[in-house]
Chain A
Amino acid sequence: MADSQYVLEMDKVCKSFPGVKALDDVTFSVKRGDCHCLVGQNGAGKSTLIKILAGAYPLDLGVVRLDGRKVTFRSPDQALRMGISVLYQELALNPYFNAVENIFIGRELSNRWGIIDYERMKREAADLIDPFGVHVNLNVPIRELSVAQQQIVALAKALSFDSKVVVFDEPSAVLTTEELERLFAIIMRLKQSGVTVIYISHRLEEIFRIGDMVTVLRDGRVVGTTPVAEVTQPDLVRMMVGRDVGMEFPARKGCPSETYLEVANVRAPGLHSEASLVVRKGEILGIFGLVGSGRTELAHAIAGMSRVEYGEIRLKGERLSIQSPADGIRKGVALLPENRKDEGLVLGMSVAENTTMPIWRRIQKVGLLDRRELRCVADTYVNKLGVKTAGLDYPVRNLSGGNQQKVVLAKWLAANSQVLILDEPTRGVDIGAKMEIYRLVVDAAEQGLGIVLISSELGEVLGLADRVLVMRAGCIVGEFDPREVDQETILARAMGVA
């Protein structure tokens, strides 16, 4: 039996996904009544850890103990009943139900005739919500409430299960400053009433406001756990960055020449200030930013997926008016999207068809698709990029993540793109394929494309890019030379630390 001062213990927990070891021998203990913070870069394993706690993923190896007793969660429902509730960023509430219905969904209180006792539910809901000192209208659908009020409803729901541990997954991302203050007050109150809080955030200053302990994760491992009072923000950043694990980046030969793409004072949905940037021929411009920093929105504005509200985009000095991806592609601006499976590829179609999709209209003869030409183009690029496939007619669905991503790259090279925007090109691919993709990106730059590399992996941005822009909260907040800057500085800028 474990020491009873810990309400929750994870002992040597491992969890793998195909090609990735998401959690590697993680030991993580949380004291009763603490606010325990969890930090780490994207992909460090935070969400996997939380999902294991919440019963959403089974673990491969290791033990989870709750109050000293070993537990195995088979479903989120079970974890909830055992006293662990997780408040995800996207709250799992039914937007069309009101607060009372949401709190008691699936376990409505009824009177002895089996009829729902709405009045009693309402009284109990009010008892749960009132202590927070925030007025919440119980009679309107949840979607008419503010995000903070919705969070309180979610919290009230969590507490109605007598939760021992409440996990907040980046709650501040969607809150205003004032709402955040209220949340902090609520967390304090939770702690006083003996509830343990696990708090995940990208904003380090919050951790120093409310945290008792902090655990840093990196690459699926625990880097360290310390009392918050004994560390500084730069310490944490240093722990999160660590050293690169023997990552070799391909060498660059050519040097960037004339200006290709100019983005001048562009405003678009999701950007909170005007964005300007320049990409030169043969250059790799890195953009580093955390999830929600506006990097994808910027990419979408440039490539025509969303509407530019004002500002100018020029390619080789010519002003572009890009209204749709088709316009962008015609002018030579292409985007490898963040979400390969929904946005990058038509999974049921063949390698050949996916590779040539943007140029179908270019290789038609009197309306008929020139299949020989299509296969010839596809064959060229599939070989050039080393896509491993059973054949050109093989559906891309059956390819591995890395090979799928290569098909997307092949598609844009076959379309003769001049500017290629890569949004998280190595997400969900294994390390070997990553190196190959790096090689291809560098090759493309050497051949004279202008490349924008968006990534939340610091190592790859610094290793590949000629210049690095940092984005935070919808704004470009800095430009760095990767040879003269260290990871800490960039991460600190992206997280808004001093």
Chain B
Amino acid sequence: MAFLPIFLVLYFVTPFRFKSAVILAGSYFFYAWWRVDYLALLILVTGWSYFVGHKIYAAQMREDAKASKRFCAIGVIGNLSVLLYFKYFNFFVDSVSLTFFNGEPLSPLFGQVILPIGISFYVFQAISYVVDVARKDAPPATNLFDFAAFIALFPQLIAGPVLRYKDLADQFVEREHSWEKFGEGSRMFMLGLAKKVLIADSVAPIADTIFSVDMPTFSESWLCITAYTIQLYFDFSGYSDMAIGLGLMLGFHFIRNFQFPYISRSITEFWRRWHLSLSAWLRDYLYIPLGGNRIGVTRTYVNLFLTMFLGGLWHGANWTFAIWGAWHGILLGIERWCGVSSTRDRSILYLPLTLVCVMIGWVFFRAENVPSAFAMLSGMVGMHGFGMTDIVAWQVTRFSLAMLVVSIVIVYLEPYLSQSGSKPTKGDTFVSPEFISIRHGLLVSSVGVLSLIKLTADNDSPFLYFQF
């Protein structure tokens, strides 16, 4: 309510050549609002990547391939070290303590490290820049303000989509600002807000309640994981839509991050529809460097598994995320072995099968720890009884249930309502303005206002993907 109007006024009254500086100042202010001290880390990662990018370029100019590779490795290791320390140090210390010291704290010197908000996203963007320059996929940034603004771009700084410099470099040099873009940006922003506030937040209490139960029954477990499946999609895609919408208002075209993931008929297809910017990143900067499918059948399966396993760990320093990643790695391996492709149509019968596999994965994704995840899975096969217990029943409101039903209908109507088509993408489609009818404009505006009212009434509503 306060930041955006002031920022946009400043942004639009500033001449184009200073707009990156305004974006940078706004983004740093936005980040510092959480913690001023951790802004230093964001600046450090930015400065480091900019410096290394130029070193790589200088080596390329000298045609010194070895030096170019060396600087690339140094740049990536530097950025990864920041991520490893701030995201995984606590996990490492706790795991060592649990394995060797019965969970006793190792030493007061190993204090709890605070996870800087958005670190996974901006470090991945910084890595993609260093690698792109080394691969000559992108020129090194010539303007530090443009580059710093790219790394810190506030609409997506906290929870993605994961952007790549090569996709945005030209847009920093030249981009169009138009009412079409502003209107489409407003539409996406309001719809994103509605997804988050009206749907995700409304069904979240069901998942939260049942995940806090020791031994959920069959009906509780399925209700719970259905609610979480909906919550996660509407929460995360809502945030992505808001980020893309804000980007459009500023004249940027961001990568599309979701494309109706729950209509997928295979896990392979699911990853062409879910968190597209991350899938594309993992493909280009992990799977392909590992050798992809170029060095033998066995190695292809290993690479696939490793990519998904590490992709799982990227989401959080917890074994539950590692298992979630491994689960998807195994499923992708099986589908590859069976010759499943994302482009070939499969029978609709595969849709529920795929969805169940995805939901099993979400159990690990959401559970606090591995035993809790297995307790939920046991519930899903009826090992704790079938009916709904009275401890849970009073907490499941009619409002949440109604919103759950509405959201399921939306999930399966969305592809037919969308003007952008329902075909899966390879993560490189960008959002462009669409024709908006009067009725659609009025409807979305009303939904936006309604979302703002609910957000105010709820008061506190954090986004799920902020934790990553």
Whether A and B are associated in the same complex: the answer reads no
Residues of A within 8 A of B (CB): none
